[in-house]
Amino acid sequence: MTAQPITDPALRSTLLDRVAFNADGLITAVAQDHATGEVLMLAWMNRAALDETLATGRVCYFSRSRKSLWRKGERSGQVQTLVDARLDCDGDAVLLLVEQKGVACHTGRRTCFYTALRPEGAVELMPPEIAPDVLYGA
Amino acid sequence: MTAQPITDPALRSTLLDRVAFNADGLITAVAQDHATGEVLMLAWMNRAALDETLATGRVCYFSRSRKSLWRKGERSGQVQTLVDARLDCDGDAVLLLVEQKGVACHTGRRTCFYTALRPEGAVELMPPEIAPDVLYGA
């Protein structure tokens, strides 16, 4: 079950006009595993990134550090296939239901949210499944 | 199942020192229903909001429009009780597993993410469960 790509540029443009990009032209994007419900990561999208994601069904973010489109998994192979994109009530955040290949986190963990803040301190909930140098090359 | 409040201010301070607040002193917070996995809303926290949340077990955000602490549900009664707080790998986003009383969205819907972007257009996935004027007074 993956999203049907939205092939009509005019429809994508109409949908993108509903999005309230911030002063930097960005919205927050939350990726969630469509099957397990696990929240995988949080990143950012500009209009071009969300347009590409809707057009291709492959998740593309905007890297604030590199200031360029970031096709998730282009180096690591850990791509995200879109299942559904859902805008929030004020249009400045998008929830991406995805099919995650492998792991979402650059540390090699399934999710980036692996550090729990608890009365016993900061608890690491899971070890890496893959070494980062395997993901990205040594 | 709710979080044990972290009563020790020194421990909270140590945990908060792991958080990478941005230039405005904020991090992104994603609230997820701990039982169903539904992503409910996205909001912001400053250090004081996260400190209060960890200390009390009741979720408190920072309102960027009002520039003040926003104790979720203080007007509507739709409070969020913390079950677990999880920091992401680079420390600039926090996932809050919560027990949501009633609805999370100010529109009266369970979640803020109710508008799907699909080939057939923008699809509203659910109606309000409660009228906003019941939540907030007419």
Domains of chain B: 9-105 (3.10.20.810)
Which residues of chain A fall short of a pLDDT of 50? none
- Interatomic CA distance for residues B71 and A3, integer angstroms: 36
Confirm or reject contact between B79 and chain A (CB < 8 A): no
Provide ipTM, 2 decimals: 0.95
Confirm or reject contact between A127 and chain B (CB < 8 A): no
Q: What is the pLDDT of residues B89-113, one digit of tens each?
A: 999 999 999 999 999 999 999 999 9
B60 carries a ligand binding annotation:
no
Contact A118 B6 (CB under 8 A): yes
Contact B115 A88 (CB under 8 A): yes
**How many Å lie between the alpha carbon of A105 and the closest alpha carbon of chain B?**
8
> Least CB-CB distance to A6: which of B95, B119, B125?
B119
Q: What is the pLDDT of residues A87-121, one digit of tens each?
A: 999 999 999 999 999 999 999 999 999 999 999 99
Confidence at B138, pLDDT banded by 50, 70, 90:
low
| Residue of chain A nearest B30, judged by CA positions | A30
